[in-house]
Amino acid sequence: MAGASTKSLDLAKPFAKPDTQRAAWRVWLDQRVDAWMTSPGFYRWAIGNPLTRWVTRRRAAQLFDIMAGFVHSQVLLACVRLQLFEQLRVQPMPLDELAKACQMSAPAMQRLLHSAVSLRLLESRGPQMYGLGPLGAPVAADPGLRLMIEHNAVLFDDMRDPLALLRDQVQPHMQAYWPYMEGDSTQGWEAAQVARYSELMATSQRFVVEEMLATYDFNGHQRVLDVGGGQGGWVGALAQHAPHLQLMLFDLPPVAALAQARMQQLGVDKRVSTHGGSFISDPLPPGADLVTLVRVAHDHPDAVVKALLAKICQALPRGGRLLLAEPMAQSPGEPPMVGDPYFHFYLLAMGSGRLRTADELRGFMLEAGFEAVDQLSNPMPLHTRMLLGRKS
Ligand SMILES: C[S@@+](CC[C@H](N)C(=O)[O-])C[C@H]1O[C@@H](n2cnc3c(N)ncnc32)[C@H](O)[C@@H]1O
């Protein structure tokens, strides 16, 4: 039975440009290389040859990592659920004590600990003593990261049968998590559901906020509007970072109400106004000379994103800017982006939107009326990449 999940999926632009047909000699060469690399003697030859051995070893390790990826993420999930990172942050602990605290046998606990050590999540600190590893430290430090790791269990559950998900034969649980995938009417939404997704967004937004503050100079602006601003993690941080700014947040009414309370808690509610509405069917609040759109476009189909960008462009004065920040896909010719498969499948399970390349988004922004669109260079493109559009 087909679910309602993939109804609004759009096709991405192809990797190769339409006018770049592969030359006949190249097709011939590709076929020869494919045949050679999959021939029975190839592996033995490649591993026996000192010049090619290191490439073969590296590729074997990479393939093994892909194959074992699910096990790795389950080791991480187990450590998060057992609160190992929080406990070991305080002090290293011995195996027996950890096993007792986690209510499992010492041999079982040891397997988890050794797996986590080999993934550098934990570290051996003496015989049967364990402490935080270099990759466990950020997880120990960030509750948002732990919430995200726990939340990924919903996605992995939906991906248990990847073909059923791809063929639209299951109703993914991810869709129930994000009620706005069903449309922009908030009637019948449960407060707990809105609070749950808004909280997840707020806690996972910290890294994106760091990227934006580190990359763009907000001094030249007076009034900023954040569209789809969630609970206001970004506008709250920006209000504290740039005390001269007036700010507005626009989101669906129940979310905007949560943001209002959050702004009061932060003590910035005099400078941040919150506006409830849908960017699909309502006008945007006027008066901003900078609009920010953070992790919003990737949730929506092309038609909705194009209409939203046009609405933003109309709402801006001449010289106004749009700063769009979200994870973006590998563009043709770019090195592979490690996060791409995750976001492709996350959005597939959500049932709407897609991970777009910076080129595609730039094209959408130009089509919407922006005169020039530049990609900004930010320290950690894995979390987000940024485009700045200027209205003439
Ligand atoms: C993925 S969250 C991102 C929130 C925030 N910008 C962040 O980065 O954490 C997308 C946000 O868009 C809001 N949203 C979705 N559809 C909307 C609509 N039609 N009108 C206004 N906001 C909408 C959601 O309520 C949610 O807060």
Give the residue ranges of DSSP H helices in the chain.
Answer: 24-37, 42-48, 50-81, 84-90, 95-101, 106-118, 137-141, 143-158, 162-166, 173-177, 191-204, 206-215, 233-241, 253-266, 302-315, 340-350, 358-368
**Which letter does DSSP use for residue 330 in this model?**
P
| Helix (H) / strand (E) containing 376 | strand 372-376
Phi-psi group of 238: left, alpha or beta (phi > 0 → left; psi -120 to 50 → alpha; rest → beta): alpha
Q: Which segments in the chain show pLDDT lower than 70?
A: 1-8, 16-19
**Edge-to-edge strand list for the sheet holding 372-376:** 272-276, 246-251, 223-227, 290-294, 321-326, 385-390, 372-376
Provide the residue type at 325 as one letter: A
The confidence score (pLDDT) of residue 7 equals: 57
Q: What pLDDT score was predicted for residue 190?
A: 85
In testing the pocket of ligand 1, which one of 252, 294, 354 has its CB within 8 Å of the most ligand atoms?
A: 252
Q: Is 282 in the pocket of ligand 1 (CB under 6 A)?
A: no
CATH superfamily of 177-390: Vaccinia Virus protein VP39 (3.40.50.150)
With a 6 Å cutoff on the Cβ, whether 278 touches ligand 1 is yes
Tell me how far the alpha carbon of residue 223 lies from the centroid of ligand 1, in angstroms.
20
User: Cβ(169)–Cβ(1) under 8 Å?
Assistant: yes
Candidate of 187, 196, 251 to mutate for ligand 1, largest count of ligand atoms within 8 Å of Cβ: 251
The verdict on the CB of residue 229 being under 6 Å from ligand 1 is: yes
What pLDDT score does 18 carry? 65
Q: Structural domain boundaries of the chain?
A: 49-140, 177-390
| Ligand 1 touching residue 263 (CB < 6 A) | no
Atom of ligand 1 nearest to the CA of 201: 9
Which atom of ligand 1 lies nearest, measured to the CA of 294? 6
Rg (CA), the chain: 24
* Fold annotation for 49-140: Arc Repressor Mutant, subunit A (1.10.10)
Tokens matching residue 365: 């922004």
